[in-house]
Structure 1
Amino acid sequence: MSRKQQLHRPGPPPGPPGDDTGCSILHVDMDAFFVSVELLDRPELRGRPVVVGGVGGRGVVSAASYEAREYGVHSAMPMSRARRLCPHAVVLPPRHERYVAVSRAVFEIFRSVTPLVEPLSVDEAFLDVAGARKLYGRPAEIARLVRERVREQQGVTCSVGVAPTKFVAKLASTRCKPDGLMVVPADGVEEFLHALPVAALWGVGERTEQQLTRLGLRTVGQLARVPLATLQRELGNALGGHLHALAWGRDPRPVVPESVDKSIGAEETFDTDLDDPDEIRRELLRLAEKVGARLRAGGHAGRTVSVKLRDGDFKTITRSRTLREPTDLARVIYVTACELYEASGWDRVRLRLVGVRVENLTSADDAPRQLALDEPETGWREAERVIDQVASRFGHGAVRPAALVRRGGGRPAGRDAREHGDGRG
């Protein structure tokens, strides 16, 4: 069994929740979210192995149904390997706009229970329900309520961990998947943690796990019994202290609500590596159009534009520039991205992937804006808003820059686009 499978294998079926006194933190994690949303629209696929991800030669698995996971398929796996492991799987291209729409509805359910919701991605969040007890009851009862509302209103399932801290709540939700509920009582945290492998601790990657294994530490309980000074000597003060605290269930971080995404971006992996600067600029234009549309749809503007470049050997660089004022215009994002690409020194490198991202977001309504010297009062901003209106009615791609239109109506060179706003994510 792989390290990833050990950490994410389904836990025991949900049973009596146990004592939830002092357990005000919930971690809600949607079950195989992208696949679950696809099954809403294609119920005939229920019970079959389904994989969502890029369908080209370099596609990557974004999500896999539990039926597909039984064959060893998991997220972030190359699609070519997933097809070998499960050749009869149904492979679907991702539909990010559909997932975001369902995610927003699910998060509205969370916020109907408590305003203290901290998103980690489109499909998971922490909730602090200490202030919701008078209205909705004990934490375990609130967890049941959230699960019921998500299932009844959106038709998808989630798993919920209930615990005194964020770290333990997240571990609990992982152990009770899929469609489960697990309470880790305040006086049972150590018993719960100490039986887990050390890889379950946040901050233990493969390299750190190897270090701990060399020290004979394979479980959290074994690590917990090592003196703090020894861990800090072997792992460094920061990591040693961090792991020692987690091993004893100490995690003082509060749930911090986030009202807006931290960044919005899109990236593209090509079927074949590209080294033609014109093709790369065309791809940057397409990605800038996507990012600009998503910024405007969310009412955001951002000051920092960055590009991500990856070559055929997976070497990756990023370059960024902070603008004088926030923008939500694809034209500004595109021009800046091109300048960053041209100044990167990689303008003749064969590229496997390019990405465009806008960070340092603020509300577009609050963003200051000045006209450039040669900019008419009515121009790019109005044009892009008209494109947004057309896209909302006829779909994305109904109107697009001439540079993105190819003879025969084909797509640009890229494939397997992935868009995401990190809120965390």
Structure 2
Amino acid sequence: MSTVFFHIDLDAFFASVEILDNPRVKGKPLIIGHRGPRSVVSTCSYEARSYGVHSAQSMSEALRRCPEAVVVEPNFKRYSQKSKEVMSIISSFAPGFMQMSIDEAFLDYSNMEKIHGLAGKAARKLKEMIKAETGLTVSVGVAENRYLAKLASDYHKPDGLTIVPPERKEEFIDKVGLEKLWGIGESTLNSIYRKGLRNTKDIRSLEKESLVHLFSENLGNFLYSIVRGIDPGLFKGEAKSHSLSSERTFYPDVYSIDALDSFIFQMAQELSFRALGEHVVARNVGLKIRYSDFSTYSCQYTPSYSLYSSSDIYKIASRLLKEKYNNSGVRLIGLVLGSTYKAEEIEQMELFREKSEKERKLEKAILELSKSGMKIIKARSLDTEVSDNKQ
């Protein structure tokens, strides 16, 4: 391969951490989430998935499908700690590291064979290192571009390894199937079927112009690329020193603003701990929404103060969602902390504006701990005023 990419995906990450910490729930259907009347499933174990439970599903529906499930409140501080351990291993393995979320990352392994051997051998070595050092399993996809690598990591789960040779990429795409291609949501799939196209081979038989005419420029170009194993350019890295981002992808598409708000809360927690771990604060919060028709909407808000607190990040992002969401199906939602700076470069008056004495002391203590290199995991949560339906 002229270029080689790994996609490393932690297997049922939140659930796996809970099982690691409490082996008594191993083998049981495990759901991560809150039991509130408007709560949604954050994630679940593979045992729970066999009952039809899935991420973003209402908790009431999940428990109807699997009444014997064990429901565990999410522990984002613990997940952030374990994620940092895994990402540290991955980032030290090869220089082309790109973290996509708390539980997945890309690695550019191009021209690295002299260091760790051929791609297959290197991927196995990386999996073994992560398992030995963290107790967690990952699934790895290896391919010539990031899109194929992401598909490959999901092909054999859990604890899988899938390698896609360049000369067999179209064959692999056909095996994956149209309904499981990343970026094809339920609404898009139905639209494709209505056009009389039934599989990836049908789409591949059409020229790009025909696909654009049938659908739209964005979707037509996207379909033309993915059925040929061409990277459609969805995964673009951002400099670590300038922004931090997190995304969630849904299948089926999500139509509930409460469910979307719940995932924004989770991502705000994740980004807060990542920012503190890297000793940075941000100037703005960005929201990205990708709808069922593949249109993507992005917006951002820059407050008069600097950002690192999960409560501040969540409040801004939640407001953006309520202002901008158009009630259509959502296949992806993401948050970005933009224009980050080292914490010591920010005026302290900005950081601790208009807060209670208790909150100011707590946030200042956490910031000082992060700057001194101590584990943020030991700090208490700052999110003391988030209602149940926002969790």
TM > 0.5 fold call? yes
Larger Rg: 1
1:126 aligns with 2:106: yes
Query: Residues 323, 84 of structure 1: CA spacing in aligned structure 2 closer, same or farther, 3 A cutoff?
Result: closer
Letter in 2 for 1:217: L
Asked if the contact 1:262/1:361 (under 8 Å) is kept, the reply is no
Q: Distance in 2 between matches of 1:108 and 1:124?
A: 12
Among all aligned residue pairs of Structure 1 and Structure 2, give the percentage whose two residues are the same amino acid.
34
Q: Distance in 1 between matches of 2:311 and 2:66?
A: 44
1:363 aligns with 2:341: yes
Q: Distance in 2 between matches of 1:121 and 1:224?
A: 31
Q: Which residue of 2 aligns with 1:322?
A: 302
* Cα-to-partner distance string for 1:136-167 (whole Å, 9 max, x where unaligned): 00011111011101111111111111111111
Query: Residues 24, 52 of structure 1: CA spacing in aligned structure 2 closer, same or farther, 3 A cutoff?
Result: same
1:71 aligns with 2:46: no
Q: Which residue of 2 aligns with 1:156?
A: 136
Give the TM-score of the pair, scaled to structure 2: 0.73
* Cα-to-partner distance string for 1:61-80 (whole Å, 9 max, x where unaligned): 11111111111111111111
Q: Which residue of 1 aligns with 2:240?
A: 259
- Give the CA deviation at 1:176: 0.7
Q: How does 1:352-391 map to 2 (within 5 A)?
A: 359-365=337-343, 367=345, 369=347, 384-386=363-365
Q: How does 1:45-84 map to 2 (within 5 A)?
A: 45-84=25-64
Cα-Cα RMSD: 4.0
Pick which of 357-366 and 117-126 moved more: 357-366
Q: Distance in 1 between matches of 2:8 and 2:345?
A: 33
- Structure 1: which 5+ runs fail to align? 1-20, 266-272, 274-286, 309-317, 345-356, 405-411, 419-425
Q: Distance in 1 between matches of 2:311 and 2:38?
A: 30
Asked if the contact 2:102/2:246 (under 8 Å) is kept, the reply is no
Asked if the contact 1:307/1:319 (under 8 Å) is kept, the reply is yes
Q: How does 1:183-202 map to 2 (within 5 A)?
A: 183-202=163-182
1:25 aligns with 2:5: yes
Q: Which residue of 1 aligns with 2:85?
A: 105
Letter in 2 for 1:259: K
* SS of 1:216 mapped into structure 2: coil
Q: How does 1:212-227 map to 2 (within 5 A)?
A: 212-227=192-207
* SS of 1:68 mapped into structure 2: helix
Q: Which residue of 1 aligns with 2:68?
A: 88
- Give the CA deviation at 1:333: 4.9
Q: Distance in 2 between matches of 1:289 and 1:165?
A: 30
Q: Which residue of 2 aligns with 1:312?
A: none
1:35 aligns with 2:19: no
Count of residue pairs brought into register by the alignment: 337
1:302 aligns with 2:282: yes
Q: Which residue of 2 aligns with 1:414?
A: 387
- Structure 2: which 5+ runs fail to align? 248-257, 259-266, 289-297, 324-334, 370-374
The structure 1 residue matched to 2:160, chosen from 180, 191, 211, is: 180
Asked if the contact 1:117/1:255 (under 8 Å) is kept, the reply is no
* Cα-to-partner distance string for 1:268-309 (whole Å, 9 max, x where unaligned): xxxxx9xxxxxxxxxxxxx9999878744542222225899x
Q: Distance in 1 between matches of 2:311 and 2:103?
A: 31
Query: Residues 119, 23 of structure 1: CA spacing in aligned structure 2 closer, same or farther, 3 A cutoff?
Result: same
1:167 aligns with 2:147: yes
Give the TM-score of the pair, scaled to structure 1: 0.68
Query: Residues 104, 86 of structure 1: CA spacing in aligned structure 2 closer, same or farther, 3 A cutoff?
Result: same
Q: Distance in 2 between matches of 1:148 and 1:291?
A: 27
* SS of 2:28 mapped into structure 1: coil
Query: Residues 416, 35 of structure 1: CA spacing in aligned structure 2 closer, same or farther, 3 A cutoff?
Result: farther
1:135 aligns with 2:115: yes
Asked if the contact 2:7/2:141 (under 8 Å) is kept, the reply is yes
Q: Distance in 2 between matches of 1:40 and 1:83?
A: 23
Query: Residues 333, 32 of structure 1: CA spacing in aligned structure 2 closer, same or farther, 3 A cutoff?
Result: closer
